[in-house]
Amino acid sequence: MSDLFQPLRLPNGSVIPNRLAKAAMEENLADAEHAPGPTLIRLYRAWAKGGAGLIITGNVMVDRHALTGPAGVVLEDDEHLPNFRAWAAASRSYGAQAWLQINHPGRQLMANLGQPALGPSAIPVDIPGLSKLFVQPQALDERQIEQIIQRYVTAAVLAERAGFTGVQIHAAHGYLFSQFLSPLSNCRRDGWGGSLENRARILLRTVEAVRAQVAPQFCVAVKLNSADFQRGGFEVGDAEAVVKMLAERAVDLVELSGGSYESPAMQGQTRDGSTLAREAYFLKFAERIGQVAAMPIMVTGGVRRRAVAERIIERGVAMVGMATALAIEPGLPARWRAGDDIAVPPVVVGWKNRALAAAATQAVVKKQLVLLGSGKPSNAQTSPLLALVGSQLRQKLQARRYRRWVASKGC
């Protein structure tokens, strides 16, 4: 049997049945109460049936006032725990592990959501022509930082109660913990800024606090940038150092990705001029970081062919994460296991404006999630322009619904 379909035993003793993971994608498919509803549950059942050994949910927000986008799932208390139980059950229905990805957007907060943005420093998102779409952030104070750490703990404990087998703490893609790690967005002069050890403090404290409140067999993972791909930002040497720090805190797996809204390397585009591989964008970084890692490493970014996935495992990386490929063909792992050497075509938007191209690429992928969540087949030939326009219109409606919902909740 291919190494792709060998089990992986994690440091806490739990086992992932194979080396293919459905990596997180932001679905924006929550129900009216910002809980997982029938659409998300149907989507995740399709991925479970597709044969991945590990299924990681899209962003689940730890604060209803801080979403990465409208129609995001929020987990602050047990009000909708039955919905989360149904989501976990669907994700595990064919034997996969299911991890809830927990996150906070920090300064990457869309202005149309009508909420204040908080970050390590009052440094706004800088995307030429699109910066006004984001809120000017305020710098977090000590009390707010401690509250955010507790929010992650609460979400993790609730995830365990709901039947998920682990959580993944998102510290990549320019979200809050990634902002703390990067010297471009963290200019603090207190114990949460300056040295890398200080910039990593909020992530390390959160991992420790979560680990202390969940069962030993419950997995605690971290998603980390291999680099920001912006000059002067978080670099691969920093990532190596942070992985060493995480090894001392009983982390079961580290997923490596890269980039942010300002430099969307996770979609194969960078702002610093770096040239990424056409597939497995971050493999060379994973190989380097894997040499110092005490826990298994997973790499995500552009994988769509079996030969590439097998090469990743052969090079010593423990898990292969796939996102876009499984949005287009959710049954890809099962087909590979059955001997079908199918390759998923890439989603390519060749527009000159990188930010718009990245948004259109994301819109095409999200269209596939809507189709699959509705019980329909995906359509990789979706027009990027139509997908982007449709996505923008849908987001306006979802943002309006969100503002009404969050206002109804009070403070």
Domain boundaries, the chain: 3-408
What pLDDT score was predicted for residue 242?
94
Q: The dihedral of CA 265, 267, 268, 273: what is its sign?
A: negative
Contact 176, 148 (CB under 8 A): yes
Q: How many CA atoms lie within 13 A of 253 on its CB side?
A: 30
C-alpha angle 353/359/365, rounded to 5°?
A: 135
pLDDT computed for residue 232 by the predictor: 62
> pLDDT digits over 225-259, tens only?
876 656 667 888 898 999 999 999 999 999 998 66
pLDDT given at position 286: 79
Instruction: Specify the pLDDT at position 291.
Output: 86
| pLDDT of the residue at 268 | 45
What does R_g of the chain's alpha carbons equal in angstroms?
19
Dump strand ranges (E) for 210-367.
219-225, 253-257, 297-300, 319-322
Predicted confidence at residue 228, as pLDDT, reads 60
The 10s digit of each residue's pLDDT in 62-99 is 999 999 999 999 999 999 999 999 999 999 999 999 99
Nearest of 96, 5, 80, 82 to residue 46 by alpha carbon: 96
Q: pTM score > 0.85 for this model? A: yes
Q: Could you tell me where the beta strands, DSSP code E, fall in 304-376? A: 319-322
- The predicted structure's pLDDT at residue 283: 78
Half-sphere exposure of 159 (CA within 13 A, CB side): 36
Q: Rounded CA gap, 382 and 33, in Å?
A: 29
pLDDT score of 225: 87
Q: Which residues of the chain have pLDDT under 50?
A: 264-279
CATH code of 3-408, in short, is: 3.20.20.70
